A and B are shown apart, each in its own frame.
Chain A
Amino acid sequence: GDSVTQMEGPVTLSEEAFLTINCTYTATGYPSLFWYVQYPGEGLQLLLKATKADDKGSNKGFEATYRKETTSFHLEKGSVQVSDSAVYFCALSTDDYKLSFGAGTTVTVRA
């Protein structure tokens, strides 16, 4: 079945550091790939998505590129801020209405 594996956390960084969260997937067909972010005490919000190979999703300084050859969708940000502290979820969808989520990665950014 479809599944997502993302790097375990927690991840602790200093402000302005570079952030990478690894995500790999297993899926039949050609999935769409997503990154969702959950800020403390809130629901999940879509951060970015990519729907086909080599697409790059970007939002709020975050980027991720859909790599079919390595079945990966790693999330990156060049300079994190304290406000980026959150839980990040990688997810995939193969049928346009159901999502399979990774376990989530907790990121803490210290001033």
Chain B
Amino acid sequence: NAGVTQTPKFRVLKTGQSMTLLCAQDMNHEYMYWYRQDPGMGLRLIHYSVGEGTTAKGEVPDGYNVSRLKKQNFLLGLESAAPSQTSVYFCASSIRGTQYFGPGTRLLVL
């Protein structure tokens, strides 16, 4: 039981490049989330999903897109990366109100 895994662990992008972050969970959870963590700001919700095929905007969705084609996977896309998107990205899944987090992806946009 791997829990929540994230790919890649670290990535460097140039401004304007695109990339996709992959999150996978093997706990059969319905709910999944993408957060970003920035110093002094806690975690801010980017997008979330309450089930396969559904997505919704969180607190800071601009510049990101997501897809949940399979229940176990939740993808976060950056179409045109900007330096303001330099951050640590965490994926989570939840059941009965408790969220389980992945190890994070550190993204640097130059």
Contacts and interface: CB of A to CB of B under 8 A. Distances in A.
Given A43-B90, A44-B90, A98-B48, A89 B99 contact: no
A46 B98 contact: yes
Interface in A52-107: 89, 93, 96-99, 101-104
B4 interface: yes
Interface in B25-69: 31, 33, 40-45, 48, 50, 58
A43 B98 contact: no
Given A43-B90, A44-B90, A98 B45 contact: yes
Nearest to A51: B97
Interface string B61-97: 0000000000000000000000000000010101011
Interface size class on chain B is 20 to 34
A51 B94 CA distance: 16
A98 B35 CA distance: 11
Interface residues of A, number: 22
Contacts of A102: 42
B40 A97 contact: no
Contact of A43 (B58, B96, B104): B104
A89 B42 contact: yes
A42 B43 CA distance: 14
Interface of A: 4, 32, 34, 36, 41-46, 49, 51, 89, 93, 96-99, 101-104
29 contacts: A4-B42, A32-B97, A34-B98, A36-B101, A41-B103, A42-B103, A43-B4, A43-B90, A43-B92, A43-B101, A43-B102, A43-B103, A44-B90, A46-B98, A49-B97, A49-B98, A51-B97, A89-B42, A89-B43, A96-B96, A97-B31, A97-B48, A97-B50, A97-B94, A97-B97, A101-B42, A103-B40, A104-B40, A104-B42
